[in-house]
Amino acid sequence: MNKSPKGRAPLIGVLAMQGAFVEHLRALEAAGAKTRLVRTREDIEGLDGIVIPGGESTTMTMLMERVGLLGPLREAIAGGLATLATCAGMIVLAKDITDGMADQQGLGLLDVRVRRNGYGRQVDSFEVPLRIEGMNGHEFPGVFIRSPLVERAGRVDVVATYDGHPVAVRQDRILALCFHPELTDDLRLHREFIRMAASGGPR
């Protein structure tokens, strides 16, 4: 875990195994962060935070395991590395996956149970305004594309819900979302994550 010196933009890594990592890079840079693609264990060194993007959770974990990144990333996040996980990223982090593959590996750090594609297939994608804690009542555009459904929230703070289910949760220095903030022009959640990463500790 690193604390950014005053006046230095935090360095945020974006896991680039597969999925929507380019969109996160653009949003983070527009919000004032420095960025780095993360594809090896060495890429974790010196980061203030990391984003685990949307994509295909089983493919991401398989590729991380193949290059020896899964264990080091788990250790870094468990040790306090600020983490933003979106859509499939939440599945990768989850302790329990209702419909996971028999041999599916994950990070197992976020105390939730999720169901993959719980909001439907690609054709069922939708956008809905969300009220997120800390945003002074201003709604955020929640873009749901093959998103996971949170079936159980354990030792987490629920910061947004939709249709009676959590869609945004915080646990220590992890912010996990069922939706895709990187597919909107609204940078507030990326800015919030950058502040979390720069703080060097939980808010």
Looking at the domain that runs over 11-199, which CATH code has it been given? 3.40.50.880
Give the pLDDT score at 111: 97
Record the pTM.
0.91
Q: What share of the chain in percent tops pLDDT 70?
A: 91
- What integer is the mean pLDDT of 44-58? 95
Would residue 190 show up in a list of annotated catalytic residues for this protein? no
Looking at the predicted structure, is the pLDDT value of residue 3 above 70? no
Backbone dihedral region for residue 89 (phi beyond 0: left; psi -120 to 50: alpha; all else: beta): alpha
Choosing from 23, 24, 87, 192, the catalytic residue is: 87
Would residue 165 show up in a list of annotated catalytic residues for this protein? no
pLDDT digits (tens, 9 = 90+) for 143-172: 999 999 999 999 999 999 999 999 999 999
Looking at the predicted structure, is the pLDDT value of residue 202 above 60? no
pLDDT digits (tens, 9 = 90+) for 118-132: 887 776 789 999 999
> Which letter, b or e, does each residue of 10-38 get, where b requires 16 or more Cβ atoms within 10 Å of its Cβ?
bbbbbbbbbbbbebbbebbeebebbbbeb
Contact present, 156 and 165 (Cβ < 8 Å): no
Would residue 138 show up in a list of annotated catalytic residues for this protein? no
Choosing from 24, 178, 182, 192, the catalytic residue is: 182
Choosing from 23, 24, 178, 180, the catalytic residue is: 180
- Per-domain residue ranges for the chain? 11-199
